[in-house]
Amino acid sequence: MLACIFKLFGLACTLVFSCLFFEQKGYAENYLKKESSLAPIPASEQNLQTVFAEEWLTLPDVHGVEGPVFEQDGKLLLSDLSGKRILRISKNKEISTLFHRNDISLGGLAIDQTGHIIIASLDIAQNKGAILSLDHEGKNLKILIPVSAGLLPNDVVFDRLGGLYISDFRGNATDPSGGIYYLPPEKKNAVSVLPHLAMANGIAISPNGKEVWVTEFARNILYRLTLSDPTHIIPLDTNAVYYFTGAAPDSTRTDKNGNIYVAIYGQGRVLVFSPQGIAFAQILLPRRDEGHNLRTTSMAINKESNEIFIVTSDDKDNNSRIFKSKIPL
């Protein structure tokens, strides 16, 4: 009897140690696989719901893209940073140049109710920027906020009233001299809404129009602002809801359900948050583990097809690309 007990105990120990060995081996292989990636997923985000995007269009010899936005007819506009152009892309993937400017780069884009295109333009090296306006044909250029205002506009978004929120990209990690501004519908002077940000970047508005979501590029933070009116934040309702790991939160969008999408510049992916600011999903771009397609800057949501179009650049082949994915549920 005693011999049987010792035998069973020995078998049990062998089984336990075997399980531990294979578990550790599997963990080690998994760990090494993640370590071999040139863009590893942070440990806290590895178990998020994950969707893989697919390539939609390559933009040869375009070094940096920003500000994608859909026009009413379904065409996609985006900014070619190095070429200082706005490109228009048809549903059939035909590419044309809508607007070109020699003196300053063109960044975030927004379209107003009349179809006019609003452009956040900036030159970081010369520390200057402006807000421009074009008609649907890329003509009738107007300057809404001049260079003399001293801002570095990065991204723009309209509210329901026709006012324009602007992220000011000034500053760095130890110099929070940027912020969020609001240009009223009558297009007079811009008003400061949230000062003292280190390179304010992405900006988006919730479907109910009451919340503004902002990314702080140099400090890796996602903010939620609850507003009493377009320029005033409700007391105690400015929240830093998420701190990112690694560089760096770029442009931001919201969908019809109030979920928030943040492009992660340098990581080739997009993080998805609930309306409460809880990360629940991520969208990964192809070949990111090999160091391709990492300069993810922005995205546009096609509400009709329930798809998201993500723009990025590739330092390895000096091309830019647009990727497409279904919106995570």
Confidence check: pLDDT of 33 > 90 = no
Residue 114 lies in a domain: yes
Q: Collapsing DSSP states into helix, strand and coil, what is residue 104?
A: coil
Could you say which DSSP state residue 249 is in? Answer: E
Say how many domains are in the chain.
1
Residue 46 lies in a domain: no
For residue 303, report the phi and psi dihedrals to the nearest 5 degrees. Answer: -70, -25
Q: State mean pLDDT over 172-186.
A: 96
Give residue 207's identity as a one-letter amino acid code. P
Q: Please tell me which residue, 2 or 294, carries the higher pLDDT value.
A: 294
Residue 194 lies in a domain: yes
Q: Which runs of consecutive H residues, i.e. helices, occur in 170-327?
A: none
CATH number of domain containing 308: 2.120.10.30
Residue 29 lies in a domain: no
Given a contact cutoff of 8 angstroms between Cβ atoms, the answer to whether 288 and 279 are in contact is: no
Residue 3's pLDDT is 52
Residue 16 lies in a domain: no
Structural domain range at position 281 = 53-326
Residue 204 lies in a domain: yes
Residue with tokens 């129009």: 209
> DSSP characters for 116-163?
PEEEEEEETTTTEEEEEEE-TTS-S-EEEE-GGG---EEEEEE-TTS-
Q: In which band, very low, low, confident or very high, does the pLDDT at 185 lie, cut at 50, 70 and 90?
A: very high
- What value does the mean pLDDT of the chain take? 90
Could you tell me the two tokens for 88?
A: 């228009």
Q: Collapsing DSSP states into helix, strand and coil, what is residue 64?
A: coil
Residue 90 lies in a domain: yes
Residue 31's pLDDT is 39
Given a contact cutoff of 8 angstroms between Cβ atoms, the answer to whether 230 and 182 are in contact is: yes
Predicted TM-score of the model (pTM): 0.89
Give the pLDDT confidence of 210-264 residue by residue, as tens digits: 999 999 999 999 999 999 999 999 988 899 999 999 989 999 999 999 999 999 9
- Name the active-site residue from 80, 155, 168, 250: 250
Residue 11 lies in a domain: no
User: Is 250 tagged catalytic?
Assistant: yes
**Cα–Cα distance between 101 and 147 in angstroms, integer?**
15
